[in-house]
Amino acid sequence: MLAGASPLLVHNCGTDDATQDLYRVSPKEVGADELENGFKPENFPYTDDGQFDGSAHFGDKARVEDFIKNHGDTHGQGMNIGMLKQWLDKNGIVGDPDIEGHEFIIPRRLFGELNEFPRSAHDFGRR
């Protein structure tokens, strides 16, 4: 921002840039690709019986740490995404209160936008 001809540093005091850290541990067969290239709808099946909802499931750190304890044989690549809270709110994505910890379900129709957020590897301390 300029004040006359002089640059002026302005701190954003609003919440437009506030983030929510979401975590995920992906199935072993697609985890590295998800981290490197993003989420692909074909890797998220949907079935009419509700067994698969076609969505990417994320959680807060505690939720994903708990999940990996029981799914370490099938899931491996951990990741973190700093999501804009404004984007989550706009799309009605909130933590599910019926699940211990918080789980965030992002439908495949939003994968294009989801893939715009930076992903980073996260080690959940499994060996």
Q: How much is the pLDDT for 97?
A: 60
Residue 1 within any structural domain of the chain = no
C-alpha triplet 85, 112, 44: angle, nearest 5°: 100
Domain count along the chain: 1
Residue 100 within any structural domain of the chain = yes
Please name which of 87, 90, 64 lies closest in space to residue 77, comparing C-alpha atoms: 64
Containing structural domain, residue 55: 18-121
Q: With 50 as the cut, is the pLDDT of residue 8 above it?
A: no
Confidence band (pLDDT; 50, 70, 90) for 127?
very low
Residue 8 within any structural domain of the chain = no
Residue 9 within any structural domain of the chain = no
**Rounded alpha-carbon distances, angstroms, from residue 72 to 2, 58, 76, 85, 113:** 53, 16, 6, 29, 28
What is the helix (H) or strand (E) element at residue 24, kind and residue range?
strand 19-27
Residue 111 within any structural domain of the chain = yes
Residue 11 within any structural domain of the chain = no
Query: Residues 64-118: pLDDT tens digits?
Result: 998 999 998 999 899 999 999 999 999 999 876 666 678 899 999 999 999 999 9
Query: Residues 15-49: pLDDT tens digits?
Result: 578 988 999 999 999 999 999 999 999 999 999 99
CA distance 82 to 10: 23
Q: What is the CATH number of the domain that holds 114?
A: 3.20.170
